[in-house]
């Protein structure tokens, strides 16, 4: 595909989403870069960089600010994963995913007939896992940051205490979920004015959230997991039928896990291991590496068929083998091996699709929200942070902690509440992801860093529930195989398949008419245009060529790209 067609597809995506083409140009800097879902949060990170902070200092400042300016996914009451590359090239990954309360049990969301109660697992106080965000951010700062937490959290405190004008995108988002946010008095107090959702131009002051942030700044993790804030959390949850206790909060701890990686066409792809699903990206790249993707060309029906066949097999493995590695023996080495990928892909044929119902997980013997948000940070020294965080559904379970000013998550729905029953993202799970006390639920979040010749050439990740995995995969393929500039690698239309349901989701512009026709000839029947929000994913990414850092905000959503 030549550059003029690249440009046409880019323009098609930009204008079809009603976004300004200038937003896709991104920013360039030789000193540092931050790309996030909120321009105010990106500015908070930049402020810390200007004061001499490194990429981790800036990332933590950005994350705390997102809890103020992008509350549907930025959070204090949720969790996430962080991948960090140090200037010396070492890679670290931190799991600050939520955990199941100690009183949890396998069948806690099943009714008397043994059928799942979706309200309990998604919309009640019982849906909340023990929050990990605050512990995770402070753990990152303690180990790799250079600035005191009081300074790093200060921009977020100011935003909550002094307020900021609500922009069009935030106003629209709150209005979209306004009815559900009216269900709880504490949520109405935070998001509504005189019974109506916050409107564009309103000055949004959040005094309770400011007090909570100040408590964390002054007292560290004890300012959230113990004392007044912890008591407010437990009081809110217990009053509404939840089971999180003061002991659950006090005993929460983030976990440093070994990052996982593979070599792919001379690059090293690093991502988060379980209970993240970054492993699937590595699996799919391994399956496709023997094929010349660049020669096939972006948008070609053969390439799309190849990618879907890899996706079907990887998602089938996810259902069987992925879960919290502290509770289930995930066969990491086998699943990420080239040998296993070759065996797994033996049945692939160019002229025939594999029926999803006929695909199961691979045989291994003797084995060992959509409303999420992702941001990327890089410093001039090559330190990079890829961090994805979430409440699960938009605004979590919609419950704001009275007096503390932040929302609770509904991450318990990410467990397999019953074997082979789909969660809200239509993902299937089994024994590996069953509910157990203190266990971490499986996640699709996949923060990723790519290194070539000791340079971190790409930092990426995305929100999007089950589409996170395929979004990151497509950014990587666009960047490495199709040699696209970063703005195209991030901006080009996307599609998604996840084994079950056997449906291809696609953005406008992802398939040309002849591509669609060729896929139908192969036997693909179920196509569904993506109509939710701006598009599939929100891959806020950064590239580096050794001297110049480029940041690109995904054009599918608002946000900010700022360079030092």
Q: Which residues participate in catalysis according to the annotation?
A: 372
CA distances from 357 to 234, 313, 354, 502 (A): 44, 11, 9, 8
CA distances from 93 to 255, 258, 381 (A): 9, 6, 19
CA separation for the pair 505, 528 (Å, rounded)? 5
Q: Evaluate the CA torsion angle 282, 283, 289, 295 in order and state its sign.
A: negative
- Residues facing residue 352 across a β-bridge: 349
CA separation for the pair 380, 428 (Å, rounded)? 42
Q: Evaluate the CA torsion angle 41, 91, 275, 242 in order and state its sign.
A: negative
Nearest to 428 by CA among 532, 499, 505: 499
CA distances from 349 to 128, 478, 505, 518 (A): 44, 23, 22, 15
Tell me, what DSSP letter sits at residue 163?
Answer: -
Q: Evaluate the CA torsion angle 255, 256, 258, 262 in order and state its sign.
A: positive
Tokens of 21: 């083409």
- Among left, alpha and beta (phi > 0; psi -120 to 50; other), residue 104 is beta
Element (H, E) at 408: none
């Amino acid at each position: 595909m030549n550059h003029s067609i690249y440009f046409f597809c880019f323009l098609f995506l930009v204008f079809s989403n009603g976004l300004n083409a200038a937003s896709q140009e991104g920013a360039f800097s030789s000193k540092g870069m931050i790309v996030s879902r909120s321009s105010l949060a990106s500015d908070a990170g930049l402020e810390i960089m200007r004061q001499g902070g490194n990429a981790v200092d800036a990332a933590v400042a950005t994350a705390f600010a997102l809890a103020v300016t992008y509350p549907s996914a930025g959070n204090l009451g949720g969790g996430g994963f962080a991948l960090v590359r140090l200037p010396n090239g070492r890679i670290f990954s931190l799991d600050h995913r939520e955990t199941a309360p100690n009183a949890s049990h396998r069948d806690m969301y099943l009714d008397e007939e043994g059928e799942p109660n979706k309200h309990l697992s998604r919309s009640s106080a019982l849906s909340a896992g023990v929050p990990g965000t605050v512990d995770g951010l402070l753990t990152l700062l303690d180990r790799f940051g250079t600035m005191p937490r009081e300074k790093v959290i200060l921009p977020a405190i100011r935003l909550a205490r002094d307020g900021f004008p609500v922009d069009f995108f935030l106003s629209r988002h709150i209005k979209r979920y306004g009815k559900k946010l009216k269900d709880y008095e504490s949520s109405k107090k935070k998001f509504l004015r005189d019974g109506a959702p916050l409107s564009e131009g309103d000055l949004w002051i959040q005094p309770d959230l400011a007090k909570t942030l100040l408590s964390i700044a002054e007292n560290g993790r004890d300012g959230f997991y113990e004392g007044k804030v912890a008591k407010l959390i437990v009081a809110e949850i217990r009053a509404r039928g939840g089971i999180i206790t003061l002991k659950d909060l006090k005993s929460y701890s983030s976990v440093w896990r070994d990052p996982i990686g593979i070599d792919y066409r001379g690059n090293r792809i690093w991502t988060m291991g379980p209970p993240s699903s970054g492993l699937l990206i590595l699996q799919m790249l391994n399956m496709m590496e023997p094929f010349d993707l660049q020669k096939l060309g972006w948008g070609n029906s053969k390439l799309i068929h190849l990618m879907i066949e890899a996706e079907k097999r990887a998602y089938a493995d996810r259902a069987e083998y992925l879960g919290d590695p502290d509770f289930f023996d995930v066969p990491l080495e086998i699943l990420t091996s080239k040998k296993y990928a070759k065996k797994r892909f033996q049945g692939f044929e160019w002229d025939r699709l594999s029926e999803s119902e006929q695909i199961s997980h691979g045989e291994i013997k003797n084995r060992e929200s959509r409303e999420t948000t992702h941001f990327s940070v890089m410093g001039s020294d090559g330190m990079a942070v890829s961090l994805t965080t979430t409440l699960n559904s938009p605004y979590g379970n919609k419950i704001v902690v009275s007096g503390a000013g932040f929302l609770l998550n509904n991450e318990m729905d990410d467990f397999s509440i019953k074997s082979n029953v789909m969660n809200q993202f239509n993902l299937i799970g089994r024994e590996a992801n069953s509910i157990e006390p203190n266990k971490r639920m499986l996640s699709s979040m996949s923060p990723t860093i790519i290194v070539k010749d000791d340079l971190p050439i790409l930092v990426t990740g995305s929100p999007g529930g089950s589409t996170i995995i395929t979004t990151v995969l497509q950014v990587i393929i666009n960047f490495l195989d199709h040699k696209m500039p970063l703005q195209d690698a991030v901006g080009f239309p996307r599609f998604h398949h996840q084994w079950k349901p056997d449906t291809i989701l696609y953005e406008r512009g992802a398939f040309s008419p002849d591509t669609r026709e060729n896929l139908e000839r192969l036997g693909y029947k179920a196509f569904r245009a993506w109509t939710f929000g701006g598009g599939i994913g929100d891959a806020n990414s950064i590239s580096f060529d050794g001297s110049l850092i480029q940041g690109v905000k995904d054009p599918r959503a608002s946000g900010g790209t700022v360079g030092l």
